[in-house]
Amino acid sequence: MGAFRMESVRVKTSSTFVFAASASALTGAVLTLFACGDAATTDHTAHAEIVAEDDARGENGLDRIGHHLASDDPAARRLAVRALGRLEDPEQLERIGELLDDGDVSVRSTAADALAQAVFGEPSDAAARALAARIDVETNASVLSSLATNLGRIAPGSPAAQSETDAALVRAATRLPLPADDSGLIGHVGLARGIDAFARAIQPDGRLSAELVAVVGSLTNVQAPAGGVVAASAARIRRLAAATLVTTGQVDADAARALLQDSDWGVRRQAMIAAARHGTAAAEVVPAGLADPHWRVRVDALAAFDRWLRPAAGCDAIIAAMTDPNPHVAATAIGLAGRPCPDIAAQVSALQARAAQIDDPDADWQAPARALHALAGVAPEAAAEGVAGLAAHANPFARAWAARAAAALGDHATLTRLAADPTPNVREAALRGLAAVSEAGASPLPDLTDIYAAQLEANDPQLVMTATRLLVAHAGADAPLPQLLAALNRFSAARRETERDVRVALLDGIGAVGGFSRDDLAPYLTDFDAVIAERAAALLTTATGQAHSAAPQPLART
């Protein structure tokens, strides 16, 4: 294996890599779909047996998965070890780890994935050390890629574990072939992914060792001829490396300037993110970012300008960006203009000009709606008429922005009308606005209890969650318990596992209001969702003083 070098290396494009990558991606699928005769039957049977136990999440045992871990067919072994990882059960680490030295490359790579998935982001010295130990003997770049990626995914549980992972990632870098010899840069992509994941896992205060920073610095220099898969991989490596240094706060001024010169917008964007988070070379790199040809760079440059340069430079750059041809840049600038600028007259004039475009049938509604919202924050009297008009806009998203602007104005009349809007998202924004106006002490206000309670009849989970929270906060024990119970019954009758959040919110609201009977919640002790059953048991135990136990009855699998 070649030594890891720090200088920039250009990578030759290889058509062989494209074929190899495609072949790797189809491993297993080809064997299953295109085998013939007895082999086809065997492959299909193995796949069906593994999937059945995988889908049951171990409830029916793991005998067939265990059997296929020892299969002569690498595709079966790969599927079996993958299934063990999908259980997210640390008890399976030893069985999974045995396949890290399998004779098949795809099985070893999948075993590394499975080890990390088995601990599901939790600290695990055993899993991390198994991957690190394999790094020291592995010779295949694609497997090293998987080992490094998955080692980085495992959160260190102690400073010692962090140091071990840091050192193992440095060793992984030394075992990879040089970028020019790494087909398709597959090994370096995996290394960059692993270091990036590791950097995020050790936050908020973790930093990389000097040795690992040097590795990351070399990754920011990986290049490939423009065009094609390899060039895209090289850019991805540089982006990940730059993002890693930004995450750990280890981008200095020289590095920021170097990132800003990269041909890839994603790398240049990281220079703006570093400036926004840490102020790194802000006075130098941010003006360049504001003029960058890519809109994503300009968006992050605006954020950096707002934090570090606006106090001294004023809002000229923000006001100028409000007319940027890219809607994302313009929207970001308009949002930043929602706070007073030194030249308030210029600020208000620019916002009014954008807000006036709401009446232009050929103009998009988004920038004008945002401008009205910003205007409501800095010049309420100038925004009032426009907000009333926006509340009648044909687009429901525009009406939701009207609700936000009306809240800034304290316009409870407009908010009350929007609380009866046919679109749930608009009603939810109006409810939030009414709550904000109420908390600010504005008067007179309508009966918010009735407005909040009326939304409990909706079938939109997010709206009902918001209405429940606001109703309980506003009315307390006077909140209408029958309507809360009716909403809970209605959502529960649908028997949708995806609606757990709204049902938990309703149960919490019922518990906060009190006054319910055992009969009201007893049916939920056997709910199909264990979380709901446990919550109902806890509420009944507290309310009655007698222990109640959950006995959930999961939905039948189909």
Grade residue 26 by pLDDT with cuts at 50, 70 and 90.
very low
Least confident range of 22-26, 76-80, 268-272, 313-317? 22-26
Q: Are 84 and 114 in contact (CB under 8 A)?
A: yes
Query: In the predicted model, is pLDDT for residue 15 greater than 80?
Result: no
d(CA 519, CA 521): 6
Average pLDDT, the chain: 92
Positions of E strands within 200-324? none
555: phi then psi, degrees, rounded to nearest 5: -65, 145
pLDDT, tens digit, 9 for 90 and up, residues 392-423: 999 999 999 999 999 999 999 999 999 999 99
Average pLDDT (173-187) is 96
* pLDDT at 121 (0 to 100): 82
The pTM is what?
A: 0.82
Average pLDDT (229-252) is 98
Does residue 369 or residue 37 have the better pLDDT? 369
Average pLDDT (203-216) is 98
In degrees, to the nearest 5, what angle opens at C-alpha 507 toward C-alphas 506 and 511?
A: 115
Query: In the predicted model, is pLDDT for residue 220 greater than 90?
Result: yes
Q: DSSP assignment of 481-544, as one string?
A: HHHHHHHHHHHHHTT-GGGHHHHHHHHHHHHHH----HHHHGGGGG-SSHHHHHHHHHHHHHHH
Query: In the predicted model, is pLDDT for residue 488 greater than 80?
Result: yes
Grade residue 55 by pLDDT with cuts at 50, 70 and 90.
confident
Average pLDDT (10-18) is 39
Nearest of 415, 352, 421 to residue 388 by alpha carbon: 415
Query: In the predicted model, is pLDDT for residue 552 greater than 50?
Result: yes
* pLDDT at 33 (0 to 100): 40
* pLDDT at 443 (0 to 100): 62
In sequence order, which residues have a C-beta less than 8 Å from that of residue 240 and are 6 or more positions away? 189, 192, 193, 195, 196, 219
